[in-house]
Structure 1
Amino acid sequence: MFFPYLYKQVAWFSFHVNYSGLTRRWKLLFSRKKRILVVDDEVGIGKLIQRLIESEDLEVELAHSAEQARQLFYKNHFPVVLLDLDLPDACGIQLLQEFKAKRPRSLYIVMTGLSTTRTAVKAIQLGAYDFLEKPFDNISALKKLIKEALQFYLEKFEHVPVRPGWEELARRHRFIVGKSPEMQRLVATAYKAAAKDISILIQGETGSGKEVLARFVHAASNRSRKPFVAVNCGALSENLLESELFGHEKGAFTDSVSRKRGIFELADGGTLFLDEIGEASQSLQVKLLRVLENGEFMRIGGEEFIKTNVRVIAATNVDLQERVKDKTFREDLLYRLEVVNLTLPPLRTRPGDIPELVDFFLRKYAQQEGRQVLQISPICLRILQSYHWPGNVRELAKAIEQVVALCEDPVIMPRHMIGLLLHKKPDGHQPERLPENEKEESMDNLVSAPVRYLQACLAKDIDWDHLPPEQLLLANKLARTLSHHLERVLAKRKLAEEEAPGLKDLEGRFIAETLRYYSHNISLTARALGIARSTLYRKIKKYSLQKGV
């Protein structure tokens, strides 16, 4: 009697266990529960994270080695992965790249010790969503970051609308980011770096918006309620700059009749923006390095060190690595400044952002002028988008400001702005108007407008001989680009006016252009062409390229 009873009990227990496991797997399969993978060789940290964030809607899987992480990662789907960069059996960066290549949609948050912060920044540049510093001093920040990552994943891949956290902040501070992927990635990285109390180096061409980005980082940081102070290192002399930054004691030099507190004191708790950091002198670089390393400085003429808590954001439009090679910039200072490197793309590489920038500047300057906001014609936008903008956003702003000040019509047409980009007078007068009989074109005849504006540019009343060199070079570049574009379109539509030139014709044209470039200097032309002077004389005679012919 005992054995049948025991058999029934064992059978019931086996069915209950299998049914329970099946039920759990069934629920996981059909529920909306999200899974997170935590990869950390320290068992205690993994279990701590699991206890903190696991809930009814969130399940946490733990892996304590790279091998264990691979097994879990390739068998399951994890929207978010927390990855320790310092694993005993693999390089964290390489494991990140491996996972990212296999499942690019998943979001990767790397965990790092204080000594490997620079490696974590590299991980973000390779596609990581963000990084966490260990030990975790702020548990709420950990939870918030994971929540933001999940929200971002839901918005991007499951179409649950969630706006980026930085979008509203950028709008409030009038920071026009645009839609280009490079700017979106840059601002997302800047927003994440803002929350970390680390130094940032911003690189970019003149006028690309380095100070605007620095102010955005300050506004997104925990120091936003403290001062933001900007200093241009290239605008002040060495002695004056040191006095401005560090202050001085009474009697430190001839004109110091009283003690003066420096910017490092005044901006305590806030952010100091050092523009054109590449122009700083060697002695100033040494003092800056001490502030970054120890958080202390000494006033000029002082005897005591003063503590300060200032976040430094530096900016430059030169290659500091080259300055390091030239021994004009300290490598250890660059290392301290460049914990995070943000490189602003030039405006010419993101023409799709120009319409949004133009709209912003039109509203801004119309408000300053106290007039109605001007509209801009489609062809004008195309002209602005095709221009190469050597002065970047600052040059665009000045161009729109001038148009708003001079345009008396409600709609900006090409005749209002063609002089701004192509034929300004060298004496600073306003650009010439196109012929009076050329009226505003309607949308019906907009297609013919490019031909009419080319005819206007070829008019005899344009003073090409006195055009500034930079404008003349630009006009030549635009003309060559237009010529190549038209040749390509003509060939595509089979509208070529003549047969393709032969090899001899091409050789003759090339030699003629080279002669013109070197003002018919035979020696320089022969050297550029890689031929002997006698050969060049023979070809000049062959193709009738004598000067004056």
Structure 2
Amino acid sequence: MATILIIDDHDAMREGLELLLRRRGHRTLGARNGAEGLELLAEHDEVELVVADLKMEPVDGMQVLREVTARAPSTDVLIITAYGSVEIAVEAMKAGAVDFIEKPFRSEAFAARVESLLKARAERERLRAECRYLRQELDSEYGEIVGRSPAMKAVYDWIARVAPSDSTLMIYGESGTGKELVARAIHAASPRAQAPFIRVNCGALPEGILDSELFGHERGAFTGADRRRRGRFELAQGGVLFLDEIGTIRPETQIRLLRVLQEREIERLGGEETIAVDVRIVAATNLRPEALKASSEFREDLYYRLHVVPVVLPPLRERRGDIPLLASHFIEQLQSRTRSRVTGISDEAMAALEVYDWPGNVRELENVIERALVLAHGTVITPADLPALAPAEARSLPEGASSGTLQESLEVYERELIRRSLVQARGVKAEAARLLGVPPATLHYKLQKYGIKVP
């Protein structure tokens, strides 16, 4: 049961909608104008949905919408609009309304629209609650890692098994899959948790600097070495040294690293003293295991020294079921930094996220959510707030688009885009037109032109 506020200056319409919703088990509040509706909203913070007519005086539906999004950003707003004012309703969507319905409408259609909105709202709340719960459950054990898919459960199991030991670990994964997060989770769950976690991005350091960073140097070891400097191995004493992008290091540095793995001791550059180190090494690379092993620039003996207990992190495209949870996590995490009023994401926008291939993985998803939080007009992220996210299959031309004249190829591609938009919009032509960025009349014409049947 939800609490729904109906604001409409036509008594028959308002009372009829209230009766309809009460029969479906909801609690309703009715207001004869915008000002009265805002007063009721202030008195009832349990209101989950406001249904407001667009044309009212002196406070119209757009003013109500702006006030609701400012005063109660977690409350959804459904706009009722008359025929011919769809453009204004679309503006209302951009301003934060979750949906609009055009008069005249059937009672069953209105009730179904409300139930759909409440269901989507409940799903957003469930995801947020689940995200908070998982954060509480996983923070002490797995840090900032988010995911509940079978692939991620296998990663959690691997972390739990390897954390208590001192064995050298190798983490494989594409860029943006969270290799450092996994390394930090291992450190946090290990007996070395109170000792330092030191990270070195081997690929980011200029040639000739990495040796000094890792092993330190004595005064006078090279031009500019005006004092002794301890390296990362010494700084990580008793803890974990995370060597990111290990596949980029030079052969000379590989030899030095191999000695550390074998002897557990180092020498600073320009020095003669041998220093024992008690450090657990966790290495990572964005190469596949077979690619690293086959590389002519990476020593095979070092590969086997590092490849003791390996794990391959799944790319985001192989755990799409985690995308809603990750999106909810990033919305909650980035709200304060972006100063955004967004509290959720629409079904259509989520569908777009779930079909995209994410070559940049979780890091790319985080960037997309942050961009949407900054640019979104309302309290819910819509497809209009997202960058162009083409599904994997859409990045190649449809069959038939690569032959024939330019006009013929464009028509083949246009036909395919319309079909995909209808699927994404679940057959709702108005929504498909919005996704395509064309008026509904244009879409209707194109459907007839290409003989496309609505699913």
Give the TM-score range, shorter chain: 0.5 to 0.7
Residues 309 and 413 of structure 1, relative CA distance in 2, 3 Å threshold: same
User: Per-residue CA shift, 1:38-68, capped at 9, x if unaligned?
Assistant: xxxxxxxxxxxxxxxxxxxxxxxxxxxxxxx
Provide the residue aligned with 2:210 in structure 1.
241
Distance 2:177 2:430 in 1: 31
Provide the residue aligned with 2:150 in structure 1.
181
Cα distance, 1:169 vs. partner? 4.1
Gaps of 5+ in 2: 1-133, 395-424, 441-449
Provide the residue aligned with 1:379 in structure 2.
348
User: Per-residue CA shift, 1:79-108, capped at 9, x if unaligned?
Assistant: xxxxxxxxxxxxxxxxxxxxxxxxxxxxxx
Secondary structure, counterpart of 1:385 in structure 2 = helix
Cα distance, 1:327 vs. partner? 2.4
Provide the residue aligned with 2:385 in structure 1.
416
CA contact (8 A) 1:295 1:307 kept: yes
User: TM (normalized to structure 2)?
Assistant: 0.57
- For residues 385-400 of structure 1, the aligned pairs below 5 Å read 385-400=354-369
* 2:429 matches 1:448: yes
Provide the residue aligned with 1:258 in structure 2.
227
Paired residue type of 2:206: S
> Which of the numbers 169, 175, 181 marks the counterpart of 1:212?
181
Secondary structure, counterpart of 1:292 in structure 2 = helix
Distance 1:200 1:453 in 2: 49
> Which of the numbers 193, 197, 200 marks the counterpart of 1:231?
200
Secondary structure, counterpart of 1:201 in structure 2 = strand
- Spell out structure 1 runs of 4+ moving beyond 6 A: none
Paired residue type of 1:447: V
Provide the residue aligned with 1:47 in structure 2.
none
- For residues 343-382 of structure 1, the aligned pairs below 5 Å read 343-382=312-351
Provide the residue aligned with 1:156 in structure 2.
none
Q: Percent identity?
A: 44
Distance 2:136 2:167 in 1: 22
Cα distance, 1:357 vs. partner? 0.4
Provide the residue aligned with 1:510 in structure 2.
none
Distance 2:141 2:340 in 1: 23
Cα distance, 1:408 vs. partner? 2.5
Provide the residue aligned with 1:279 in structure 2.
248
Secondary structure, counterpart of 1:415 in structure 2 = helix
Cα distance, 1:378 vs. partner? 1.1
Secondary structure, counterpart of 1:272 in structure 2 = strand
Paired residue type of 1:275: D
Cα distance, 1:371 vs. partner? 4.1
- For residues 505-524 of structure 1, the aligned pairs below 5 Å read none
CA contact (8 A) 2:356 2:389 kept: no
Paired residue type of 2:290: Q
CA contact (8 A) 1:200 1:339 kept: yes
Provide the residue aligned with 2:261 in structure 1.
292
Residues 245 and 323 of structure 1, relative CA distance in 2, 3 Å threshold: same
Considering Cα pairs closer than 8 Å and 6+ residues apart, tell me whether 1 or 2 has the greater RCO.
2
Provide the residue aligned with 1:95 in structure 2.
none
Paired residue type of 1:234: G
CA contact (8 A) 1:190 1:342 kept: no
Distance 2:292 2:141 in 1: 37
Secondary structure, counterpart of 1:404 in structure 2 = helix
CA contact (8 A) 1:169 1:220 kept: no
Secondary structure, counterpart of 2:284 in structure 1 = strand
Residues 450 and 373 of structure 1, relative CA distance in 2, 3 Å threshold: closer
- For residues 135-146 of structure 1, the aligned pairs below 5 Å read none
Aligned length: 281
Distance 2:318 2:357 in 1: 9
- For residues 95-110 of structure 1, the aligned pairs below 5 Å read none
* 2:202 matches 1:221: no
Paired residue type of 1:376: I
Secondary structure, counterpart of 2:167 in structure 1 = coil
Secondary structure, counterpart of 1:235 in structure 2 = coil
Distance 2:229 2:292 in 1: 32
CA contact (8 A) 2:144 2:181 kept: yes
Distance 1:256 1:366 in 2: 45
Paired residue type of 1:197: D
User: Per-residue CA shift, 1:203-238, capped at 9, x if unaligned?
Assistant: 011111111111111111111111111111111123
